[in-house]
Amino acid sequence: MKFATKLIHNSSSKDPHTGAVSVPIYQVSTFHQENIEAMGEYDYSRSGNPTRKSLEGTIAELEGGSAGFAFASGMAAITSVLLTFSKGDHILVGKDIYGGTYRACTSILKDHGVEVTFVDAQDLQDIEKNIQNNTKGLYLETPSNPLLKVTDLKGAIALAKKHNLIVMVDNTFLSPYLQRPLELGVDIVMHSATKFIGGHSDVVGGLVVVKDSSLANKIYKLQNTIGAILGPQDSWLLLRGLKTLKVRMDYQQKSAMKLAEWLLNHESVAEVFYLGLQHHEGRDIHFSQASGPGAVLSFKMKSVELTKAFLKAIRLPAVAVSLGGIETIVSYPVLMSHASIPKEEREKLGITEELIRVSLGLEDVEDLIADFNQAMEVRI
Ligand SMILES: *Cc1c(COP(=O)(O)O)cnc(C)c1O
């Protein structure tokens, strides 16, 4: 079955108890047991809930995994995955990762005695040379935020297999529609479902998918023990959002391409970062492991003054953190997603004060370009 069909018809898309084509919101905490000696499938909603289960089954099927887990946020999902490592383990983490993940690695993991080395994930040699005897995992995000740097997943997986490392990929930016890391040999995929999967800027959630049953058992134990589960109402919102994932992303990526090309030709713009553009570094690798450029781009203006004037003058998009919603979101990484990274570190990553990130929504791109145009004309 093709991806678009799977979004609508999959083994979890109907309610097994009633046949309802939209799985109901099972707003319930506990389940009556007819026979105490043979408990039913559900006993308590932290351990399992039918609405959450439908979402977990759906994401597992879409990512090509065997088990899915829904958490209260992307960070709950990611932190739970990171907690599968134990004291004395060492893991390698790509430098260009989400700020919250950086915080989890440098605080919680450190406090638990898990050693972390940040590596340049664009460079397989840098990954390899940092592998130690106690290295157990490799954590990646490709394309990265906000400069869309690309990691060669097949190369990284080959390296990891040689050294018995668990490979984890945060697939938030592309969703399973455009990239399915498990199919390439990755062990664990994570999502901030707050972004493209939910798709409407109205729910915070996280998802984990694995193929291997012993990993599934570990994640389930953490989900059920820590209890950072996604509630039934929010699970339903993600199920609803997922049904339109493909049509949203198709439209949003088309708009991203148009906006990227327009930005490229604007006199106030110094540089445009978008995987749809021919010159983008790592583009060939990206298209060998993903089927589209995605709907997030970033660009640098020619001066900080122009950047600030643009951010004040832009009208249609939300100027906000987050991405993947139906409204275009413009964000300013140095004061938003990357504010906690020291200036020197940030600049080394290429995240400067002229950088703006855009996540395309479902507006008509002509209106967006007109708005970008007026905001670029503003001079201070
Ligand atoms: C937003 C985001 C997260 C964190 O997810 P929350 O749902 O906000 O907890 C993790 N990774 C990436 C790439 C993100 O964009």
Q: From the CA of 267, how far away is ligand 1's center (Å)?
A: 33
Cα 5–Cα 293–Cα 204 angle in degrees, nearest 5: 70
Considering only CA atoms, which residue is closest to atom 2 of ligand 1?
Answer: 192
Residues 349 and 361: their CA atoms lie apart, in Å, by 27
The first and second tokens of residue 246, run together, are 């493909």
- Helices first, then strands: H and E counts in the chain: 16, 12
Considering only CA atoms, which residue is closest to atom 8 of ligand 1?
Answer: 74
Share of the chain above pLDDT 70, in %: 99
Task: Mark which of 243, 274, 307 sits at the end of a domain.
Answer: 243
Q: How far is CA 166 from CA 158, 211, 212, 213, in A?
A: 11, 12, 11, 14
pLDDT band at 378 (very low <50, low <70, confident <90, very high): confident
Domain count, the chain: 2
**Cβ < 6 Å from ligand 1: which residues?**
73-75, 98, 100, 141, 145, 170, 172, 192, 194-195, 204, 206
* pTM: predicted TM-score of the whole model, two decimal places: 0.97
Q: From the CA of 279, how far away is ligand 1's center (Å)?
A: 28
Q: What is the rounded average pLDDT of the residues 81-103?
A: 95
195 is catalytic: yes
pLDDT of 344 higher than 60: yes
Residues 199 and 193: their CA atoms lie apart, in Å, by 8
Out of 96, 98, 191, mutate this one to test ligand 1's pocket (max ligand atoms within 8 Å of CB): namely: 98
Q: What is the rounded average pLDDT of the residues 358-366?
A: 98
CATH of the domain at 25: 3.40.640.10
Q: Is 291 left (phi over 0), alpha (psi -120 to 50) or beta?
A: alpha
Domain of 356? 245-377
Phi and psi, residue 235, nearest 5°? -60, -40
Are 38 and 143 found together in one domain?
A: yes
Q: What is the rounded average pLDDT of the residues 257-271?
A: 97
Considering only CA atoms, which residue is closest to atom 6 of ligand 1?
Answer: 74
Residues 152 and 50: their CA atoms lie apart, in Å, by 37
pLDDT band at 340 (very low <50, low <70, confident <90, very high): confident
343 is catalytic: no
Given the residues 14, 46, 243, 302, the one annotated as active site: 46
The first and second tokens of residue 363, run together, are 């507006």
Share of the chain above pLDDT 90, in %: 94
Given the residues 6, 52, 195, 357, the one annotated as active site: 195
Out of 103, 194, 196, mutate this one to test ligand 1's pocket (max ligand atoms within 8 Å of CB): namely: 194
In the numeric block, the tokens 């030709």 are attached to 265
Are 307 and 354 found together in one domain?
A: yes
The first and second tokens of residue 264, run together, are 């490229």
Are 270 and 123 found together in one domain?
A: no
DSSP letter for 91, please: E
Contact (CB, 8 A) for 351 and 147: yes
Q: From the CA of 86, how far away is ligand 1's center (Å)?
A: 23
Are 164 and 253 found together in one domain?
A: no
Closest CA to 289 of 130, 191, 197, 158: 158
Residues 274 and 218: their CA atoms lie apart, in Å, by 37
Considering only CA atoms, which residue is closest to atom 7 of ligand 1?
Answer: 74
DSSP string, 179-218: --HHHHT-SEEEEETTTTTT-SS----EEEEES-HHHHHH
Pairing of strands 269-273, 296-301: antiparallel
Model pLDDT, residue 338: 86
CA of 78, closest atom in ligand 1: 10
CATH of the domain at 265: 3.90.1150.10
pLDDT band at 236 (very low <50, low <70, confident <90, very high): very high
283 is catalytic: no
Are 175 and 267 found together in one domain?
A: no
Model pLDDT, residue 342: 81
Model pLDDT, residue 339: 84
Q: What is the pLDDT of residues 2-46, one digit of tens each?
A: 999 999 999 999 999 999 999 999 999 999 999 999 999 999 999
Are 27 and 149 found together in one domain?
A: yes
Report the Cα–Cα distance between both ends of the chain, in Å, rounded. Answer: 55
Are 126 and 169 found together in one domain?
A: yes
Task: Mark which of 208, 243, 278 sits at the end of a domain.
Answer: 243
pLDDT band at 341 (very low <50, low <70, confident <90, very high): confident
Q: What is the pLDDT of residues 38-67, one digit of tens each?
A: 999 999 999 999 999 999 999 999 999 999
Are 197 and 341 found together in one domain?
A: no
CA of 206, closest atom in ligand 1: 7
Out of 195, 207, 322, mutate this one to test ligand 1's pocket (max ligand atoms within 8 Å of CB): namely: 195
Are 64 and 161 found together in one domain?
A: yes
Are 252 and 151 found together in one domain?
A: no
The first and second tokens of residue 50, run together, are 């039918």
E strand or H helix that includes residue 329: strand 329-331
CA of 194, closest atom in ligand 1: 7
Model pLDDT, residue 343: 87
CA 378 to chain centre: 34
Q: From the CA of 34, how far away is ligand 1's center (Å)?
A: 41
Task: Mark which of 212, 243, 274 sits at the end of a domain.
Answer: 243
Given the residues 26, 98, 102, 274, the one annotated as active site: 98
pLDDT of 379 higher than 80: no
Are 221 and 277 found together in one domain?
A: no
Model pLDDT, residue 179: 98
46 is catalytic: yes
Model pLDDT, residue 337: 85
Q: What is the rounded average pLDDT of the residues 258-269?
A: 97
Q: What is the rounded average pLDDT of the residues 81-105?
A: 95
Q: What is the Cα Rg of the chain in Å?
A: 21
pLDDT of 380 higher than 80: no
Q: What is the pLDDT of residues 276-330, one digit of tens each?
A: 999 999 999 999 999 999 999 999 999 999 999 999 999 999 999 999 999 999 9
CA of 145, closest atom in ligand 1: 13
Are 145 and 289 found together in one domain?
A: no
Q: From the CA of 141, how far away is ligand 1's center (Å)?
A: 11
Q: What is the rounded average pLDDT of the residues 231-242?
A: 98
**Neighbouring residues of 264: CB distance < 8 A, sequence distance ≥ 6:** 272, 277
Residues 33 and 37: their CA atoms lie apart, in Å, by 9
